[in-house]
């Protein structure tokens, strides 16, 4: 049996499971509400799946792992959907080539929404009588909710990429009150620069190094509630003393690297990163565009002047690592990161997460405490210099769910902390996200570390 959580999941009242299920499901659709049907179909690069596909795939997950197992005589919505919406489970048969997801106009968005309604109806009915269901059902239920939330983050970042490919730079969030945001329709206000200048004082001057003691530390999931199998089991690691910067690298910091020729000096780069950056002509993070008035970047709010005090984001590991080398520092390992996050405590968490709910990580306030560690959780996924490998004692689950995490445990790097696009319940100190070193379309950022006395 797939152990998705170390302790029994509390499910005291039927209504609470039902309510939570409905809320999560509704959130996926809410994320797509600002989209046109056209936006839900395309796949402008391999990593980006059509929103329509995300809506259907998450539904297929419920159908496959819960309804077909626990509803006697359950009729699947459509016999071809298992082929169409299986993501990567070899256990569950053949499927559409990943690169072809964006070539399929049908089933249409309306069909997918009908599919969602069909499955939601069945699951809601099932959850009306939870006492009849075995404990393992609730483990799968929890996994299904977490899975759907993972796809919510992908929806946010995939939608951003999809909208960015148009020269029209359409905004996803049009009506939001964001004082300093503006769409680039002709003239650009000078406010952006002023805005940046005021905040810059804090950020440039007060970036501080916070010491973390060495010794044996315990990392991995140690709390109550849900975690993924890849966070298990908690185990001890030995660390030398080190220091971590008290905030993320800002756009101003990164611009200094750019202006110092960081993209043209191979000495700071991993070889494979350098070759890729040359081949792709990288000169700035993803989404950055140089205009006469300065640097802009595409956001969920359309094209915006770069906020110098905000954390740099949409950088690959290669860029994060090159920046760190240029800055005379390094990236933390995941053990260092988690140790520091546990060391500096959960108070930090509250400070930033709510600010980031606009899909745009915000600067540390100018009056923030320089002895505190900011932006650890819910701002940017922070690249670590740790390969995404199995923890000691890790074992793949039996059955199809054994393919959920384990088969990816090579050739990728761990990212920590969660981003402004991560659902709140996905943000915890032990969470291990992972991407290949070249990926830039997530809200990935940089935090510097350095060895003490090093």
By CB under 8 A, the residues from 135 to 174 that bind a second copy are 162-163, 165-168, 170
Contact call for residue 277 and a second copy (CB under 8 A): no
By CB under 8 A, the residues from 94 to 133 that bind a second copy are 100, 102-110
Q: Which of 16, 19, 75, 91 binds a second copy (CB under 8 A)?
A: 91
Task: Please identify, using beta-carbon distances, which residue of 14 and 108 lies nearer to a second copy.
Answer: 108
Contact call for residue 266 and a second copy (CB under 8 A): yes
Do β-strands 302-305 and 294-299 pair in parallel, antiparallel, or remain unpaired?
antiparallel
By CB under 8 A, the residues from 34 to 53 that bind a second copy are 36-45, 52
Contact call for residue 211 and a second copy (CB under 8 A): no
Q: Which of 74, 390, 424, 427 binds a second copy (CB under 8 A)?
A: 390
By CB under 8 A, the residues from 425 to 444 that bind a second copy are 437
In the complex, least distance from residue 392 CB atom to a second copy, rounded to whole angstroms: 6
By CB under 8 A, the residues from 345 to 384 that bind a second copy are none
Contact call for residue 187 and a second copy (CB under 8 A): no
Task: Please identify, using beta-carbon distances, which residue of 196 and 230 lies nearer to a second copy.
Answer: 230
Contact call for residue 83 and a second copy (CB under 8 A): yes
Which residues lie closer than 8 Å to 236 by C-beta, 6 or more apart? 216, 217, 218, 219
Q: Are 56 and 115 in contact (CB under 8 A)?
A: yes
The residue range among 57-65, 78-86, 302-310, 361-369 that interacts with a second copy, by the rule CB under 8 A, is 78-86
The residue range among 7-15, 139-147, 269-277, 357-365 that interacts with a second copy, by the rule CB under 8 A, is 269-277
The residue range among 175-183, 339-347, 370-378, 404-412 that interacts with a second copy, by the rule CB under 8 A, is 404-412
Task: Please identify, using beta-carbon distances, which residue of 118 and 206 lies nearer to a second copy.
Answer: 118
Cα separation, 221 vs 218, in Å, equals: 9
Q: Are 304 and 296 in contact (CB under 8 A)?
A: yes
By CB under 8 A, the residues from 212 to 231 that bind a second copy are 216
Number of H helices, E strands in the chain: 12, 12
Q: Which of 75, 90, 197, 198 binds a second copy (CB under 8 A)?
A: 90
φ, ψ dihedrals at 402, nearest 5°: -65, -20
Contact call for residue 273 and a second copy (CB under 8 A): yes
Cα separation, 424 vs 431, in Å, equals: 12
Q: What is the dihedral of CA 246, 251, 252, 256, to 10 degrees?
A: 110
Task: Please identify, using beta-carbon distances, which residue of 235 and 291 lies nearer to a second copy.
Answer: 235
φ, ψ dihedrals at 209, nearest 5°: -100, 125
Q: Residue 431: which of 373, 388, 374 has the closest Cα?
A: 388
Sign of the four-CA dihedral 68, 73, 75, 80: positive
How many residues touch a second copy under the rule CB under 8 A: the total is 71
Q: Are 360 and 179 in contact (CB under 8 A)?
A: no
Q: Is 156 helix (H, G, I), strand (E, B) or coil?
A: helix
Q: Is 122 helix (H, G, I), strand (E, B) or coil?
A: helix
């Amino acid at each position: 049996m797939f152990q998705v959580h170390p302790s029994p999941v509390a499910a005291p009242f039927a209504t609470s499971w039902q309510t939570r299920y409905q809320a999560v499901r509704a959130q996926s659709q809410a994320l797509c509400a600002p989209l046109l049907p056209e936006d839900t179909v395309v796949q402008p690069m391999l990593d980006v799946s059509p929103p329509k596909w995300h809506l259907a795939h998450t539904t297929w997950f419920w159908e496959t792992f819960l309804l077909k197992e626990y509803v006697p005589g359950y009729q699947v919505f459509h016999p071809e959907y298992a082929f169409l919406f299986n993501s990567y489970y070899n256990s569950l048969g053949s499927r559409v080539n990943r690169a072809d997801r964006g070539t399929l106009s049908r089933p249409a968005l309306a069909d997918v929404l009908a599919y969602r309604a069909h499955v939601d109806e069945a699951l809601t009915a099932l959850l009306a009588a939870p006492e009849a269901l075995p404990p393992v059902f609730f483990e799968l239920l929890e996994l299904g909710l977490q899975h759907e939330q993972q796809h919510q983050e992908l929806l946010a970042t995939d939608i951003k990429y999809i909208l960015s490919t148009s020269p029209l730079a359409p905004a996803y969030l049009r009506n939001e009150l964001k004082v300093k945001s503006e769409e680039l329709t002709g003239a650009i206000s000078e406010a952006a620069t002023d805005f940046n200048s005021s905040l810059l004082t804090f950020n440039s001057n007060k970036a501080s190094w916070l010491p973390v003691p060495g010794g044996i530390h315990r990392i991995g999931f140690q709390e109550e509630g849900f975690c993924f199998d890849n966070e298990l089991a908690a185990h001890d690691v030995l660390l030398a003393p080190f220091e971590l910067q008290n905030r993320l690298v800002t756009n101003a910091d990164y611009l200094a690297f750019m202006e110092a020729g960081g993209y043209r000096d191979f000495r700071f780069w991993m070889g494979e990163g350098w070759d890729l950056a040359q081949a792709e002509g990288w000169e700035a993070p993803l989404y950055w565009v140089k205009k006469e008035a300065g640097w802009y970047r595409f956001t969920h709010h359309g094209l915006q002047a770069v906020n110098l005090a905000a954390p740099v984001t949409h950088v690959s590991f290669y860029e994060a690592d090159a920046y760190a080398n240029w800055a005379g520092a390094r990236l933390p390992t995941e053990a260092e990161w988690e140790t520091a996050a546990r060391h500096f405590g959960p108070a930090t968490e509250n400070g930033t997460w709510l600010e980031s709910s606009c899909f745009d990580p915000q600067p540390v306030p100018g009056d923030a405490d320089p002895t505190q560690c900011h932006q650890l959780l819910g701002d940017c996924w922070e690249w670590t210099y740790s390969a995404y490998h199995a923890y000691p004692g890790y074992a793949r689950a039996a059955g199809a769910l054994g393919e959920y995490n384990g088969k990816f445990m090579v050739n990728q790097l761990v990212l920590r902390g969660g981003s402004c696009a991560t659902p709140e319940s996905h943000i915890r100190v032990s969470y291990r996200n992972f991407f290949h070193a070249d990926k830039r379309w997530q809200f990935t950022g940089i935090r510097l570390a350095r060895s003490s006395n090093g």
